[in-house]
Copies of this chain bind each other. A is one copy, B any other.
Amino acid sequence: MASSSSLTLSQALLTPSNAATSSSSSSSDRNRLSIPRFSGLKPSPISSASSSFAKRSHRRSLASRGPVVRAAAVETLQSTETALVEKSINTIRFLAIDAVEKANSGHPGLPMGCAPMGHILYDEVMRYNPKNPYWFNRDRFILSAGHGCMLQYALLHLAGYDSVKEEDLKSFRQWGSRTPGHPENFETPGVEVTTGPLGQGIANAVGQALAEKHLAARYNKSDAEIIDHYTYVILGDGCQMEGIANEACSLAGHWGLGKLIAFYDDNHISIDGDTEIAFTESVDTRFEGLGWHVIWVKNGNTGYDEIRAAIKEAKAVKDKPTLIKVTTTIGYGSPNKANSYSVHGSALGAKEVDATRKNLGWPYEPFHVPEDVKKHWSRHAANGAALEAEWNAKFAEYEKKYKDDAAELKAIVSGAFPAGWEKALPTYTPESPADATRNLSQQCLNALAKVLPGLLGGSADLASSNMTLLKMFGDFQKATPEERNVRFGVREHGMGAICNGIALHSPGLIPYCATFFVFTDYMRAAIRISALCEAGVIYVMTHDSIGLGEDGPTHQPIEHLASFRAMPNILMLRPADGNETAGAYKVAVLNRKRPSILALSRQKLPQLPGTSIEGVEKGGYTISDNSTGNKPDVILIGTGSELEIAAKAGEELRKEGKAVRVVSFVSWELFEEQSAEYKESVLPAAVTARVSIEAGSTFGWQKIVGSQGKAIGIDRFGASAPAGKIYKEFGLTSEAVVAAAKELI
Whether, in the assembled complex, A103 has its beta carbon less than 8 Å from a beta carbon of chain B, the answer is yes
Question: Is B555 a contact partner of A566 (Cβ separation < 8 A)?
Answer: no
Question: Is B278 a contact partner of A488 (Cβ separation < 8 A)?
Answer: yes
- CB < 8 Å neighbour of A699 from B271, B278, B562: B562
A103 to B551, CA, bound (A): 11
Q: Which residues of B contact A175 (CB under 8 A)?
A: 719, 721-722, 725-726, 729
Q: Which residues of B contact A45 (CB under 8 A)?
A: none
Whether, in the assembled complex, A22 has its beta carbon less than 8 Å from a beta carbon of chain B, the answer is no
Question: Is B459 a contact partner of A272 (Cβ separation < 8 A)?
Answer: yes
Min CB–CB distance A722 → chain B (angstroms): 8
- Given A281-B254, A286-B289, A463-B272, decide whether A489 and B241 contact each other with a Cβ distance below 8 A: yes
Q: Which residues of B contact A489 (CB under 8 A)?
A: 241, 270, 275, 278-279
Question: Is B279 a contact partner of A290 (Cβ separation < 8 A)?
Answer: no
Residue on B nearest A526 in the bound complex, by CB:
B521
- Given A174-B721, A177-B720, A721-B175, decide whether A270 and B553 contact each other with a Cβ distance below 8 A: no
Min CB–CB distance A721 → chain B (angstroms): 4
- CB < 8 Å neighbour of A552 from B184, B278, B286, B550: B184
Residue on B nearest A173 in the bound complex, by CB:
B550
Question: Is B146 a contact partner of A554 (Cβ separation < 8 A)?
Answer: yes
A719 to B726, CA, bound (A): 44
Interface-facing stretch out of A190-198, A327-335, A392-400, A627-635: A190-198
Min CB–CB distance A670 → chain B (angstroms): 15
Whether, in the assembled complex, A245 has its beta carbon less than 8 Å from a beta carbon of chain B, the answer is yes
Question: Is B278 a contact partner of A283 (Cβ separation < 8 A)?
Answer: no
Whether, in the assembled complex, A707 has its beta carbon less than 8 Å from a beta carbon of chain B, the answer is yes
Whether, in the assembled complex, A382 has its beta carbon less than 8 Å from a beta carbon of chain B, the answer is no
Interface-facing stretch out of A62-70, A439-447, A490-498: A490-498
Which residues 51-97 in A have Cβ within 8 Å of B in the complex? none
A699 to B721, CA, bound (A): 32
Encoded as 1 (CB less than 8 Å from any B CB) or 0, chain A from 228 to 256 comes to 00000000011101111111001101100
Residue on B nearest A244 in the bound complex, by CB:
B243
Q: What is the size category of the interface that chain A forms with chain B?
A: 35 or more
Whether, in the assembled complex, A717 has its beta carbon less than 8 Å from a beta carbon of chain B, the answer is yes
Min CB–CB distance A294 → chain B (angstroms): 11
- Given A559-B567, A717-B569, decide whether A196 and B551 contact each other with a Cβ distance below 8 A: yes
Encoded as 1 (CB less than 8 Å from any B CB) or 0, chain A from 160 to 191 comes to 00000000000001111100111010000000
Whether, in the assembled complex, A549 has its beta carbon less than 8 Å from a beta carbon of chain B, the answer is yes
A246 to B285, CA, bound (A): 14
Min CB–CB distance A401 → chain B (angstroms): 35
Q: Which residues of B contact A637 (CB under 8 A)?
A: none
Min CB–CB distance A303 → chain B (angstroms): 25
Whether, in the assembled complex, A34 has its beta carbon less than 8 Å from a beta carbon of chain B, the answer is no
Min CB–CB distance A560 → chain B (angstroms): 8
A202 to B423, CA, bound (A): 48
Whether, in the assembled complex, A433 has its beta carbon less than 8 Å from a beta carbon of chain B, the answer is no
Whether, in the assembled complex, A536 has its beta carbon less than 8 Å from a beta carbon of chain B, the answer is no
Whether, in the assembled complex, A361 has its beta carbon less than 8 Å from a beta carbon of chain B, the answer is no
Q: Which residues of B contact A291 (CB under 8 A)?
A: 280-282
Q: Which residues of B contact A245 (CB under 8 A)?
A: 243
Question: Is B699 a contact partner of A702 (Cβ separation < 8 A)?
Answer: no
Whether, in the assembled complex, A461 has its beta carbon less than 8 Å from a beta carbon of chain B, the answer is yes
Question: Is A182 a contact partner of B281 (Cβ separation < 8 A)?
Answer: no
Whether, in the assembled complex, A31 has its beta carbon less than 8 Å from a beta carbon of chain B, the answer is no
Which residues 378-409 in A have Cβ within 8 Å of B in the complex? none
Question: Is B522 a contact partner of A196 (Cβ separation < 8 A)?
Answer: no
Residue on B nearest A245 in the bound complex, by CB:
B243
Whether, in the assembled complex, A465 has its beta carbon less than 8 Å from a beta carbon of chain B, the answer is yes
Encoded as 1 (CB less than 8 Å from any B CB) or 0, chain A from 704 to 727 comes to 001110000001110111100110
Q: Which residues of B contact A566 (CB under 8 A)?
A: 558-559, 562-563, 566, 697, 699-700
Q: Which residues of B contact A462 (CB under 8 A)?
A: 271-272
Question: Is B285 a contact partner of A242 (Cβ separation < 8 A)?
Answer: no
Whether, in the assembled complex, A106 has its beta carbon less than 8 Å from a beta carbon of chain B, the answer is yes
Whether, in the assembled complex, A375 has its beta carbon less than 8 Å from a beta carbon of chain B, the answer is no
For the complex of A and B, 9 pairs with smallest distance between CB atoms: A243-B243, A285-B289, A278-B489, A180-B720, A286-B289, A196-B554, A175-B721, A566-B699, A559-B566
Q: A146-B554, A180-B720, A242-B243 are in contact. List 12 more A-B contacts (CB 8 A).
A: A173-B552, A196-B551, A197-B521, A241-B490, A242-B247, A250-B281, A278-B461, A493-B522, A519-B525, A522-B524, A532-B717, A563-B563
Write 23 A-B pairs (CB below 8 A) sorted by A numbering.
Answer: A105-B549, A173-B552, A175-B722, A176-B721, A180-B719, A182-B555, A184-B554, A196-B554, A237-B490, A239-B490, A242-B491, A253-B280, A271-B465, A277-B475, A277-B477, A278-B461, A279-B489, A280-B291, A493-B522, A519-B525, A532-B554, A532-B717, A559-B563
